[in-house]
Structure 1
Amino acid sequence: MQQPIFLQPIFQERIWGGTSLRDRFGYDIPSDHTGECWAISAHPHGPSIVRDGLYKGIPLDLLWTQHPELFGHFPGKTFPLLTKILDANTDLSVQVHPDDTFAYHHENSERGKTECWYIIDCKPGAELIYGHHAQNREELQEKMERGEWDTLLQRLRIKPGDFFYVPSGTIHALGSGTLVLETQQSSDTTYRVYDYDRKDDSGNKRELHLDKALDVTTIPHYNDIPDRQIRHLGDGEWTTYVTSEYFTVHRWQVDGVLSIDQEQPFLLASVLDGAGEIETFEGSFPFQKGDHLILPHELDTFRINGKTEWIVSHV
């Protein structure tokens, strides 16, 4: 099929969410505490739906199993990646994710969760938590039990355009006033370490998972921030942020025309800004800010026309 596959995102309300998904992208969000846009998802907790075209109305998980030719017959029973946009109106809980082996044995065969963040926007002086200062498990446990978060957690100042790779085992949290595009393994497994003693609508503190967090946290922490690579192609700038065993993530900035040869089984794309058209052998397909789409395997060559910014990922 020589056409892009546009998807309808799913929205998730969160205690820390806000209205930036509506304010920035014009989404019809369910409330003023909407924290997550599951933009390209085949996870059972929130599968995206094909928005239009030949496969209109089909959830992405079914498309994956029923039409493997669209994905280059990539091996695996389940879709491997998940793209989100997160609106951290207030601080997210401090958390850590397991790797594949631990999640398989302890979380009903779920995948582990390695992820990465592209900072779309943030307030001046915004921070995130990325790692810890403990040198061994005993020190980590002791500081957790004593609540010595200020000396345990590593905080980093951020600005729009920053990128962070967050492998499984990394203690992390987004700070308030941050809007982020997240690319991750398709998993919803999170171990909560600290939640600022917040209470939910029922007056209860959210559950913590300290024992599992201690089991999976990388000790000592190291800052795994890869060097970005920039290429200039036609009227576009192609920035590669990370290439890992789970995903590769790029940013495409176009002001005019960018021609692409499809060299991957499939591509996941999110339009962060601008508008234009995707030209293929089957026609032209308009896009605008806030669209999310899959560029299938059979889309051998295509062109992006317009002034736009995309985040693109692939396995």
Structure 2
Amino acid sequence: MKQPIFFRPFFQERIWGGTKLRDVYGYDIPSERTGECWAISAHPNGQSVVRSGEWAGMPLGQLWQEHRELFGYYDSDRFPLLTKIIDANDDLSVQVHPDDEYASNYEKGEWGKTECWYVIDCEEGAEIVFGHRAKTKEELADMMKREQWDQLLQRVQVKAGDFFYVPSGTVHALCSGLLILETQQNSDTTYRVYDYGRRDRDGKPRELHVEKALDVITVPHVQQSIEPTVVKMAGATVTTWVRSDYFTVSKWEVHPRLEMERIQPFLLLSVMAGTGAIATEEGEWPLQKGDHLLLPYQFGPFRITGHVQLIASQP
């Protein structure tokens, strides 16, 4: 198949969400507290569906099960990745994710969660929580028990265009004023460490997962070093931030033409800004800000034209 597969996202309301998914990307969001756009997702907690064409209305998980040829018969029992856009209108909880082994043992076969963030936009002075200062598990547990969060948590100021790799075991949180594209393993397993004393809709304190968090937090914190590879072409720039066991993630800045060879086993694209088109020998399809699409296994050589910025990922 040499046609791209476009998706309609699934939206998640969150206590910390806002309206940027509508204001910036024009999505029809369910409320003024919409925190997450699950743009390309086959997770049971929220699946994107095919927007048009032969499989219009089909959830990605069903497409994965019934048409594995589209994915090059990729060796996995489930679709491997999940692409999100996150509107952090308020601070997210301080949290950590388990690795695959821990999640398999304690979360009914769920995968662990390694993820990465591309900062689409942010308010001046915006920051993230990224790592901690404890040197041992005992010191970590003691500081958490004493709620010494200012001393324990590391904060980093961010700007639009920044990229962060967040392996499982990393204490982290997005803070208010951030719009993020997240690429992650296909998992929804999160352990809350601290939530600023917030309460849920019923007035109850939000659940924390302190014991599991202590099990999985990497101590001491391992600082991640990103060394991007930048390839400049006549009509485009491709910046590859990470090649890991879970995903490869790049930014494509097209101005005005990018030609690519066949990419295996399949490729996910999210249009961050601008307009353009993607074309093969079989046709041409428009691209606009907020589109999310999959290029299947047999897509073949293609070109992207216009002035457009995309985030590309593949397992």
What RMSD, in angstroms, separates the aligned Cα atoms of the two structures? 0.6
Report if the CA contact (8 A) 1:65-1:77 is conserved.
no
In the TM superposition, what whole-angstrom CA distance separates every residue of 1:135-167 from its partner, at most 9, and x where no partner exists?
Answer: 000000000000000000000000000000000
Provide the C-alpha distance between the structure 2 equivalents of 1:262 and 1:129, rounded to a whole number of angstroms: 38
In the TM superposition, what whole-angstrom CA distance separates every residue of 1:247-277 from its partner, at most 9, and x where no partner exists?
Answer: 0000000011100112320001100001111
Report if the CA contact (8 A) 1:234-1:259 is conserved.
no
Task: Give the 5 Å matches for 1:240-279.
Answer: 240-279=240-279
Q: Does 1:97 align with 2:97?
A: yes
State how many pairs are aligned. 315
Structure 1 regions of 5+ residues with no counterpart? none
Provide the C-alpha distance between the structure 1 equivalents of 2:73 and 2:201, rounded to a whole number of angstroms: 45
Provide the C-alpha distance between the structure 2 equivalents of 1:212 and 1:233, rounded to a whole number of angstroms: 47
Task: Give the 5 Å matches for 1:47-66.
Answer: 47-66=47-66
What corresponds to 1:183 in structure 2? 183
Task: Give the 5 Å matches for 1:122-161.
Answer: 122-161=122-161
Deviation (angstroms), 1:232: 1.2
What corresponds to 2:174 in structure 1? 174
Provide the C-alpha distance between the structure 2 equivalents of 1:263 and 1:280, rounded to a whole number of angstroms: 13
Provide the C-alpha distance between the structure 1 equivalents of 2:216 and 2:20, rounded to a whole number of angstroms: 32
Q: Secondary structure at the match of 1:25?
A: coil
Deviation (angstroms), 1:57: 1.0
Identity %: 59
TM superposition score normalised by structure 2: 0.99
Deviation (angstroms), 1:291: 0.3
Report if the CA contact (8 A) 1:276-1:305 is conserved.
yes
TM superposition score normalised by structure 1: 0.99
Deviation (angstroms), 1:210: 0.3
What corresponds to 1:290 in structure 2? 290
In the TM superposition, what whole-angstrom CA distance separates every residue of 1:202-260 from its partner, at most 9, and x where no partner exists?
Answer: 11111000000000000000211321110013301000010100000000000111001
Provide the C-alpha distance between the structure 2 equivalents of 1:26 and 1:302, rounded to a whole number of angstroms: 27
What corresponds to 1:226 in structure 2? 226
Provide the C-alpha distance between the structure 2 equivalents of 1:70 and 1:238, rounded to a whole number of angstroms: 25
Q: Secondary structure at the match of 1:101?
A: helix
Runs of 4+ in 1 over 2 A off after TM superposition: none
In the TM superposition, what whole-angstrom CA distance separates every residue of 1:99-122 from its partner, at most 9, and x where no partner exists?
Answer: 000000000010000000000001
- Quick one: which amino acid aligns to residue 123 of structure 2? K
- Quick one: which amino acid aligns to residue 148 of structure 1? Q
Deviation (angstroms), 1:63: 0.6
What corresponds to 2:9 in structure 1? 9
What corresponds to 1:214 in structure 2? 214
